[in-house]
Structure 1
Amino acid sequence: MSQDFYTDKARVRASFDRAARRYDSAAVLQREVSDRMAERLEMIKTTPLCILDAGSGTGYGAAALRQRYTDARVVELDLAPGMLLASRSKQTESAGFFGRLLGRVSPWQVCGDLEALPLADASVDMIWSNLALQWVNEPDTVFAEFRRVLKPDGLLMFSTLGPDTLMELNAAFGGLDAATHVNRFIDMHDLGDALVRAGFALPVMDMEKLVLTYDTARAVMQDLKAIGAHNATAGRKRGLMGKHAWQRVEAAYETFRRDGKLPATYEVVYGHAWRGQPKKADRLPDGSQVIQFERSTPPRAD
């Protein structure tokens, strides 16, 4: 990926720190995708005792994992300390006085970067990562780190965003100038290849498109701001956009209006794989590994 499309980690951290308090009010997509990931766990037999929630946000996924795997320690890791504090606050509030007294508020939180995990080798049984990988710069680095901290036969399950994400917004900004205005996202097949390069076994990838609808283009931007999802690419334009430039963007976005609403499309990519060496039966005669790619029928989420 061109370094013009690399994310500025300091900007990402600051954006999510600022958004932490209002994040839950706008994180409709994040919760929906987390729930869909959880449904996929029904088909996977695993009993992890230590789970890393990589990019845990305000703790929605971590809470579901604790409920599903009651004997497991769930470690929340996020780049933004504000997100971890928001999760701790929610846990403290829901636990009540006696819950806190009995230790029902999880102490397992780590502030860190997915591309340089502050965890020991072979220290977790499962890694869960919901809509966080789109903020990294090098998938190979992240998957190498994931494999390093996973125990043998450990499970990696993740979701991220694909290239068609916010395609309407990207098209509306197209031709405005040479700067990047929307984050760039990595193709599902490239992620599958990166998993293989990192040494993961039996990777399975699939994709679906979810569409959120809005009354105005400004409402789309406000939602993105509320969850901290600013454009954080190195090639972004600095400074505020002028009034006339924004009017051009709004007019271009209006061409996508259907049934009185403006769509915002998200290409959601799901993947899971196992740490360890693939079995011989999982390789073709020429030594190459089999990867499954499944394409789901795109649903519509209004």
Structure 2
Amino acid sequence: MSEPFYTDKAQVRAAFERAATLYDSAAVLQREVSDRMAERLDYIKVAPPVILDAGSGTGYGAAALKKRYPHARIVELDLAHSMLRASREKHKDGAGLLSWLFQKSPWQVCADVERLPLADASVDMIWSNLAIQWVNVPDSVFAEFRRVLKPDGLLMFSTLGPDTLFELRQAFAGIDGATHVNQFIDMHDLGDALLSAGFATPVMDMEKIVLTYDDARGVMQDLKAIGAHNVTAGRRKGLFGKHAWQTVVDHYEARRRDGKLPATYEVVYGHAWRGSPKPKGNTLPDGRQVIDFVKPGDKPR
């Protein structure tokens, strides 16, 4: 980690391990974004036999995918084992233990999205809802996604953009030299990273979702409950003083409207295709293959 705003992967894992029991009660944004991302699938005609839910959390997205694609094998992958355990318990409670044991229940893998323990070309679709914002450089995760996708496989993801929690970031501005709010990658840089990784026809769009709170402490408590509090390398290591915290609160209070404090999330959506392997030999610019006919005794060009 060479930048103070880079996230500390060990701290990310620890935060989500602790957050699993409270996650569902606070993950309003995650569920809303998952639902909005799923609506985009209405316009994409696919029937994937194997789907990887990368950053599956407590299984909300996996359940929706299973309902949409009842014959698909869902693979839930998350960095935190406690998140997978919470998902497994929900599957058991919803189906009953015996039916859960005999139905096509999701497979679960505890792993890092930047180092997927999956074979090359082993999944037909990757779904990733609000997970890759914890990756400091998108190139590595997109390279892994492309590696495990089959030819013409689909990647669909959501993440957070740089305007996320700008109110909180500005409230902390000038307090000290530490980073207090996680920083996120711009939509255009993500699109460039997709192309660089070899994905075809990437489509990116963005919207802003504003949650409202009674006070600044409520914002911080929700972030902690979903494991999304500050885990940057340059975060403050010591305790935050009472006077400094009051200064942050006063700055945030200046944004109060209609009795509520806003917390803005810039949500970025993207999808792209793995693409088919290029044919060997000479090809024209439009992709048609050139076949050389060689007479006996001639040297091939």
Q: How far off is 1:19 after superposition? A: 0.5
The one-letter code of the counterpart of 2:47 is: T
Consecutive unaligned residues in structure 1, runs of 5 or more: 283-302
Contact 1:33 1:130 in 2 (8 A): yes
Partner of 2:64: 64
Equivalent position of 2:238 in the other structure = 239
Q: Which residue of 1 aligns with 2:177?
A: 178
What per-residue deviation string (whole Å, max 9, x for no partner) do you get for residues 131-185 of structure 1? 0011012100000000000000000000000000000000000000111000000
Which residue of structure 2 lines up, in the alignment, with residue 121 of structure 1? 120
State how far apart, in whole Å, the 1-side matches of 2:193 and 2:186 are.
11
Q: What does 1:11-50 correspond to in 2, within 5 Å?
A: 11-50=11-50
Tell me how far 1:102 sits from its aligned partner.
2.7
Q: 1:270 to 1:168 in 2, by over 3 A?
A: same
Equivalent AA in structure 2 for residue 208 of structure 1: E
Q: What is the distance in 2 between the residues matched to 1:2 and 1:196?
A: 25
**Aligned-pair identity (%):** 76
RMSD (Å) for aligned C-alpha atoms = 1.6
Matched with 1:299 is: none
**CA deviations over 1:187-241 (Å, ceiling 9, x no partner):** 0000000000000000000000000000000000000011011211111111221
Deviation at 1:277, TM superposition (A): 5.5
CA distance in structure 1 between the aligned counterparts of 2:59 and 2:195, rounded to whole angstroms: 29
Aligned residues of 2:73 and 2:104 also touching (Cα < 8 A): no
Counterparts of 1:69-148 in structure 2, within 5 Å, are: 69-103=69-103, 105-106=105-106, 108-148=107-147
Counterpart secondary structure, 2:112: coil
CA contact (8 A) 1:66 1:72 kept: yes
SS in 1 for 2:43: coil
Give me the whole-angstrom Cα distance separating, in 2, the residues matched to 1:236 and 1:262: 24
For these two proteins, the number of residue pairs brought into alignment is 281
Q: Give CA-to-partner distance per residue, 1:229-278, whole Å, 9 cap, x none.
A: 12111111112211111000000000110111000000000000000269
CA distance in 2 between partners of 1:97 and 1:191 (Å): 42
Query: Which stretches of structure 1, 4 residues or more, deviate above 2 A after TM superposition?
Result: 100-106, 277-282
Contact 1:201 1:277 in 2 (8 A): no
Per-residue Cα deviation, 1:84-113 (whole angstroms, up to 9, x for no partner): 00000111111114423533543x000011
CA contact (8 A) 1:92 1:100 kept: yes
- The alpha-carbon deviation at position 2 of structure 1 amounts to 5.8
Contact 1:95 1:104 in 2 (8 A): no
Whole-angstrom CA distance in 2 between matches of 1:247 and 1:278: 58
Counterpart in the other structure of 1:298: none
Given the two structures, how large is their TM-score scaled by the length of structure 2? 0.90
Report the structure number with the largest CA radius of gyration.
2
What letter matches 2:224 in structure 1?
A: K
Moved more, 94-103 or 24-33: 94-103
Give secondary structure in 1 for the equivalent of 2:21.
coil
Matched, 1:204 2:203: yes
CA contact under 8 A between 1:199 and 1:277: conserved in structure 2?
no
2-side partners of 1:191 and 1:255: how far apart?
33
